[in-house]
């Protein structure tokens, strides 16, 4: 079985690491490879000129991190232990649930316990947020100048060089995809490597093999861990750690009706929000179908899609267009609103009357944590880890995925029943305060890392 966070003791990991150091087994070559137990081929010295230029740029960027190194040296001068340095490897430039969850933990941990360096795309909203948190950032560019993905050998060499230059005490990947890339070179570097697993997706046997090379696999829900364990991920390395949410930032506030005014609606409008990336997995078409059917009965009913589509695949583009067509075909296009990406989700959750989350798959929906903390009444599906957040009929209404009829019936019950919506919202916030605070998740992440440091 996988383990819940806090139930594994790190003594064996530390004892083995100490013994290896005493025996001289943890040694690094110029590319940072272990001389003992290296898997053949992962650290080939044959590097393209493009990669050599990247190495030079990377080395120059690392040299600019001297203030971080000097801070550690100052600590030594004061006879206090230097703070452990964590290298965060972040493959995506966007700010979705996984990025927000990690940043919430980093914000807590930088205050007193750890130093962070991030390797991330050199442009995008994630970089801006890292800058706000004053996290030193190195470029993580896994594509060439033409936009094509680098070869396996080039990526391996690039990551080994990155880790060798930064010399972190631990490396952490924030996504399954990044974790797999680091798994390929885990035997070639001395630092322990962990990864978050935030996806419930089918993996190849090779991907599972790569991930199993890492020191710890942190699944965001029991459902996520169970899915991947059944398909070959190491149960001994899997740990379940739920994401947490800042319950002060996300809390119930009196609505201002500013959002409804922004959309040209009056205070009497019943506004439903569907928040998240627009994609097939999120099941927004189910929400659109159900809401559209109810407008004749509730003329003040409106649906706001908050989020944007990232995929440029034809099927994804058609999927978003279909959401508009559902309302247009019914002559109700003025009842649907596409807000795009918004950074003020805490405001939106206080302004809407209900959160509708009709995902087909959801490892652990961050917006559900945020909505529950805000006392926003929620209708969601039982997909993935949602049942670990909400209890059906107590803190939310949970339905099987993909059934617009059931969503319609649930909405018919809740729209006219303000007292019931308030009860669901209050119970949802209590559940967050008991199980899903950012302090709890941050403490759990720190415990995992301490076992490996």
Asked, for residue 249, whether it belongs to a domain, the answer is no
Query: Are 165 and 51 in a shared domain?
Result: yes
Q: How far apart are CA 41 and CA 49, in angstroms?
A: 19
Query: Are 139 and 269 in a shared domain?
Result: no
Asked, for residue 398, whether it belongs to a domain, the answer is yes
Asked, for residue 250, whether it belongs to a domain, the answer is no
Query: Are 227 and 81 in a shared domain?
Result: yes
What does the chain come to in residues?
A: 453
CB 380 within 8 A of CB 367: no
Give the model confidence (pLDDT) of 307-342 as tens digits.
Answer: 999 999 999 999 999 999 999 999 999 999 999 999
Asked, for residue 252, whether it belongs to a domain, the answer is no
The pLDDT of residue 110 is: 83
Task: Give Cα 372 to chain centroid, integer Å.
Answer: 18
The pLDDT of residue 65 is: 56
pLDDT digits (tens), the chain, 453 positions: 665 554 333 333 344 344 444 333 333 333 333 333 333 344 444 445 555 555 555 555 554 554 444 444 454 455 566 889 999 999 989 888 999 999 999 998 987 679 999 999 988 999 999 999 999 999 998 888 888 889 999 999 999 999 999 999 999 999 999 999 999 999 999 999 999 999 999 999 999 999 999 999 999 999 999 999 999 999 999 999 999 999 999 999 999 999 999 999 999 999 999 999 999 999 999 999 999 999 999 999 999 999 999 999 999 999 999 999 999 999 999 999 999 999 999 999 999 999 999 999 999 999 999 999 999 999 999 999 999 999 999 999 999 999 999 999 999 999 999 999 999 999 999 999 999 999 999 999 999 999 999
Query: How many other C-beta atoms lie within 10 A of the C-beta of residue 61?
Result: 18
Reported as type and span, the H/E element at residue 217 is strand 216-219
Strands 301-306 and 336-340, by their bridges, are parallel
State the CATH number of the domain containing residue 76.
3.40.50.2000
- The closest alpha carbon to 275, from 179, 380, 408, belongs to 380
The pLDDT of residue 420 is: 98
- The closest alpha carbon to 392, from 415, 365, 420, 424, belongs to 424
Residue-number span of the structural domain to which 229 is assigned: 3-244+438-452
Helix (H, G, I), strand (E, B) or coil at 28: strand
Contacts of 448 (CB under 8 A, 6+ apart): 5, 194, 216, 218, 239, 241
Asked, for residue 94, whether it belongs to a domain, the answer is yes
End-to-end CA distance of the chain: 24
Q: How far apart are CA 230 and CA 313, in angstroms?
A: 30
Query: Are 18 and 154 in a shared domain?
Result: yes
Q: How far apart are CA 430 and CA 409, in angstroms?
A: 26
Sheet of 336-340: strand order equals 336-340, 301-306, 270-275, 354-357, 378-381, 397-399
Tell me which residue has tokens 């559209």: 292
Interaxial angle between packed helices 125-132 and 97-109, expressed in degrees from 0 to 180 and rounded to the nearest 10: 10
Tell me which residue has tokens 């050599």: 52
Q: How far apart are CA 151 and CA 176, in angstroms?
A: 19
The pLDDT of residue 228 is: 98
Query: Are 289 and 224 in a shared domain?
Result: no
Q: Where are the beta strands (DSSP E) in 267-370?
A: 270-275, 301-306, 336-340, 354-357
Tell me which residue has tokens 């809740």: 414
DSSP line for 17-74: HHHHHHTT---B-TT--BSSSPPTTTT-S---HHHHHHHHHHHHHHHTTHHHHHHHHH
Asked, for residue 253, whether it belongs to a domain, the answer is no
Query: How many other C-beta atoms lie within 10 A of the C-beta of residue 428?
Result: 26
Query: Are 197 and 306 in a shared domain?
Result: no
Query: Are 416 and 390 in a shared domain?
Result: yes
Query: Are 22 and 131 in a shared domain?
Result: yes
Query: Are 310 and 223 in a shared domain?
Result: no
Asked, for residue 98, whether it belongs to a domain, the answer is yes
The pLDDT of residue 5 is: 52
The pLDDT of residue 61 is: 56
Q: How far apart are CA 46 and CA 178, in angstroms?
A: 22
Count structural domains, the chain: 2
Query: Are 238 and 271 in a shared domain?
Result: no
Query: Are 113 and 213 in a shared domain?
Result: yes
Asked, for residue 309, whether it belongs to a domain, the answer is yes
Query: Are 387 and 448 in a shared domain?
Result: no
CB 121 within 8 A of CB 4: no
Helix (H, G, I), strand (E, B) or coil at 194: strand
């Amino acid at each position: 079985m996988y383990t819940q966070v806090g139930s594994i003791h790190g003594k064996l990991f530390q004892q083995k690491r100490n013994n290896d150091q005493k025996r001289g087994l943890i040694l690094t070559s110029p590319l940072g490879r272990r001389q003992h137990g290296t898997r053949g081929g992962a650290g080939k010295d044959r590097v393209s000129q493009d990669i050599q230029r990247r190495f030079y740029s990377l080395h120059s960027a690392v040299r600019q991190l001297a203030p971080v190194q000097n801070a550690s040296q100052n600590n030594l001068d004061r006879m206090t232990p230097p703070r452990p340095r964590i290298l965060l490897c972040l493959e995506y430039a966007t700010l979705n649930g996984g990025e927000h969850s990690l940043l919430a933990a980093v914000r807590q941990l930088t205050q007193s316990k750890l130093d962070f360096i991030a390797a991330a795309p050199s442009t995008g909203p994630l970089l801006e947020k890292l800058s706000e948190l004053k996290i030193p950032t190195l470029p993580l560019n896994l594509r060439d100048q033409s936009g094509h993905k680098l070869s396996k050998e080039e990526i391996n060499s690039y990551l080994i060089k990155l880790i060798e230059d930064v010399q972190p005490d631990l490396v952490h990947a924030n996504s399954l995809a990044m974790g797999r890339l680091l798994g390929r070179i885990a035997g070639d570097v001395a630092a322990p490597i962990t990864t978050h697993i935030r996806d419930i997706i089918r993996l190849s046997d090779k991907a599972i093999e790569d991930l199993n090379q890492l020191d710890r696999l942190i699944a965001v829900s029991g459902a996520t861990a169970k899915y991947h364990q059944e398909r070959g991920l190491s149960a001994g390395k899997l740990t379940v750690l739920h994401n947490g949410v800042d319950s002060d930032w996300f809390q119930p506030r009196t609505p201002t009706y500013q959002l409804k005014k922004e959309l040209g609606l009056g205070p009497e409008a019943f506004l439903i929000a569907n928040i998240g990336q627009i994609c097939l997995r999120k099941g927004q078409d189910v929400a659109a179908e159900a809401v559209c059917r109810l407008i004749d009965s509730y003329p003040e009913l409106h649906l706001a899609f908050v989020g944007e589509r990232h995929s440029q695949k034809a099927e994804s583009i058609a999927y978003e267009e279909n959401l508009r067509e559902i309302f247009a075909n019914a002559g109700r296009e003025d009842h649907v609103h596409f807000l795009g990406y918004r950074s003020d989700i805490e405001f939106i959750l206080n302004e809407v009357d209900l959160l509708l989350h009709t995902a087909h798959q959801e490892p652990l929906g961050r917006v559900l944590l945020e909505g529950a903390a805000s006392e926003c009444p929620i209708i969601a599906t039982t997909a993935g880890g949602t049942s670990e957040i909400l209890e059906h009929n107590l803190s939310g209404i949970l339905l099987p995925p993909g059934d617009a009829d059931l969503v319609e019936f649930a909405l018919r019950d809740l729209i006219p029943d303000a007292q019931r919506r308030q009860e669901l919202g209050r119970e949802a916030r209590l559940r967050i305060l008991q199980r899903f605070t950012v302090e709890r998740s941050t403490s759990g992440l720190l415990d995992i890392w301490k076992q490996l440091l």
